[in-house]
């Protein structure tokens, strides 16, 4: 992870967002982020409403098993350009965040 962040941001500050999988919220993982001075975004668990990129890319896929799902996820995420990512974040995240806050973390139209 660190080489990628240096390549993308250099010495600039950034906030890391993760998916809150159990391994990512383990004490050792939190310690690693802290030891490396990485700020992690406070993010609600299981929040597909706040994941417009993955949701949009996966909407028409119908995998039949776990292996097909993994392959579909890898293919869809690897096809996202940085420009697409920035555009999606800028265009829909403010509305998504407001909807999640208004719904107190419950499901939204997104």
Average of pLDDT values for 30-34? 92
Q: What is the pLDDT of residue 97?
A: 84
Task: Please answer whether residues 47 and 100 qualify as being in contact, where contact means their C-beta atoms are separated by less than 8 angstroms.
Answer: yes
What pLDDT score does 34 carry? Answer: 93
For residue 35, the model assigns a pLDDT of 94
pLDDT score at 101: 86
**4-13, 29-38, 48-57, 99-108: least confidently modelled range:** 48-57
Q: Where are the domains of the chain?
A: 1-43, 44-110
Examine the pLDDT at 57 and tell me if it is beyond 90.
no
Phi, psi of 15, deg, nearest 5: -120, 130
Question: 3-state DSSP call for residue 95?
Answer: helix
Residue 72 CB coordination number (10 Å):
16
* Closest to 40 measured CA to CA, from 23, 22, 24: 24
Q: What is the predicted pLDDT for the residue at 36?
A: 92
């Amino acid at each position: 992870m660190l080489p990628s962040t240096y390549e993308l941001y250099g010495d600039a500050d950034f906030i890391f967002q993760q998916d809150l999988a159990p391994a990512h919220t383990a004490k050792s993982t939190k310690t690693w982020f802290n030891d490396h001075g990485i700020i992690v975004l406070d993010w609600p668990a299981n929040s597909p409403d706040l994941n417009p990129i993955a949701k949009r890319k996966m909407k028409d896929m119908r995998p039949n098993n776990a292996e097909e799902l993994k392959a579909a996820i890898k293919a869809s995420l690897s096809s996202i350009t940085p420009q697409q990512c920035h555009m999606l974040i800028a265009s829909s995240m403010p509305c998504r965040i407001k909807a999640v806050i208004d719904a107190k973390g419950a499901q939204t139209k997104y």
